[in-house]
Structure 1
Amino acid sequence: MPFNKLHSHIKEELESLEITTPTPFQKTSIPVIKSGANIFCTGSKNTGKTTTLILTTLHKLKCEEVGAAPRAMVLVEDRDCVLALHEAFMPYTRHSSLRVYACDDKHHIELLTSEIFEGVDILIATPKTVCKLLLLEGLNLTQLKIFNIDDADFLSSKSAYTDLLAITQGIQKCQYVLYSEKINSMLKRLETNFMQYSRTVAG
């Protein structure tokens, strides 16, 4: 069962939250994501995609704080999604040293830069905000191990899609995991950019 092979800290948190049985999507996707491949994860709402994102990200980072630069990034559509996902991470990271940072774009970009500089393990942001941070040299992406895109259907916006391509151009080696309800032609084109040799998991 997928939960049994996750980091011991994650299993403890799942037990405390009384989550014992993975969804069919989680049973299928978690082992594939753990393999390190680039993945398109597709599934309808309420199949457990966001929880899968959280669990596999924590597992990848071994549930511990390391260095100052982000080792995981999650791109989402807008500020509301940033704050909601940050809140979703909290029950799983509250007893660990992991630092999860939500880039609230209502704050001045220089404030975001200074707070990120203090040390972040998991960064949650919109493509637009990440591009601004990179332009100001306020974000180091050299240590990224996993790059998630949650509910990637928002990439149908040309500006978000263009920002995503700009961000990934500067990343040397990283696992990419994209979550969406379905794979449209625009998402499929990412195979020619950073989603090379990707696998698809449907749930």
Structure 2
Amino acid sequence: MPFKKLHSHIKEVLAHQEITTPTAFQSKSIPVIKSGSNLFCMAPTGSGKTTTLIVTTLQKLKCEAVGTAPRAVVLVENKEKALQLQEAFLDYTKHTSLRVYVGYEELHIDIQKSEIFEGIDILISTPKSMNQLFLLNGVSTSQLKLFSIDDADFLVQKSAYAAVISITQSIKKCQYVLYSEKMNPMIKRFESHFMEYSKKITVKNSQ
């Protein structure tokens, strides 16, 4: 079954990458994410979680730049993961007006603030760097539509977990989607914070 009801640009990129049929995980998760529900997505490596994250983010933003404040945030574990995800996003956004920005601890916070101020659509960041931006009023969440965490298993680290709690307390309203290999106790605790009324999708194999 091919990908359905996606923006024409996304379909073009998927076709160019010879991705014609969604994985079992993508078939289950993409319609639920498009519906606007908060969602825990649990599936093994190779299930298509990263492609799902990118595709649903672009779908939410209608593949076009709007305003100056980020409308999508993606949290990742570290600088290396942030830069990898940026590269993956750029494969999908290079023929659109969407602006993807990456922030991490090693990049001076004042540089991040000034560059974000110029206008971005998608912010990829580590929890610590994002929290620091929040504390310094370096990023607005007034237009935020989608907040995703990629490979959220790293949130067993207490400092990262605390940063996520702090960040989400400052966000009035948006959709949250967490991607992980499995549900661990730290991730489950988000249900009593920002993941209220969330749905869960679990896929056991990567096909």
CA distance in 2, matches of 1:104, 1:133: 10
Q: What does residue 33 of structure 1 align with?
A: 33
2:119 aligned counterpart, secondary structure:
coil
Cα offsets for 1:105-153 (capped at 9, x unmatched):
3221101110000001000000000111111111101111000000001
CA distance in 2, matches of 1:2, 1:118: 38
Cα offsets for 1:30-53 (capped at 9, x unmatched):
011111000000000010001000
Q: What does residue 122 of structure 2 align with?
A: 122
TM-score of the superposed pair, with normalisation by structure 2:
0.96
CA RMSD of aligned residues (A): 0.9
Which ranges of structure 2 fall in alignment gaps of 5 or more residues?
Answer: none
2:159 aligned counterpart, secondary structure:
helix
User: Structure 1 vs Structure 2: percent identity of aligned residues?
Assistant: 62
CA distance in 2, matches of 1:128, 1:105: 7
2:3 aligned counterpart, secondary structure:
helix
Q: What does residue 159 of structure 2 align with?
A: 159
- CA positional deviation for 1:104: 3.8
The count of corresponding residues between Structure 1 and Structure 2 is: 203
CA distance in 2, matches of 1:57, 1:195: 18
Q: Which moved more, 1:122-131 or 1:97-106?
A: 97-106
Which ranges of structure 1 fall in alignment gaps of 5 or more residues?
Answer: none
Q: Which amino acid aligns with 1:189?
A: R
TM-score of the superposed pair, with normalisation by structure 1:
0.98
Cα offsets for 1:86-110 (capped at 9, x unmatched):
0110111010000011114322110
- CA positional deviation for 1:173: 0.8
Structure 1 runs, 4 residues or longer, greater than 6 Å off: none
CA distance in 1, matches of 2:45, 2:57: 20
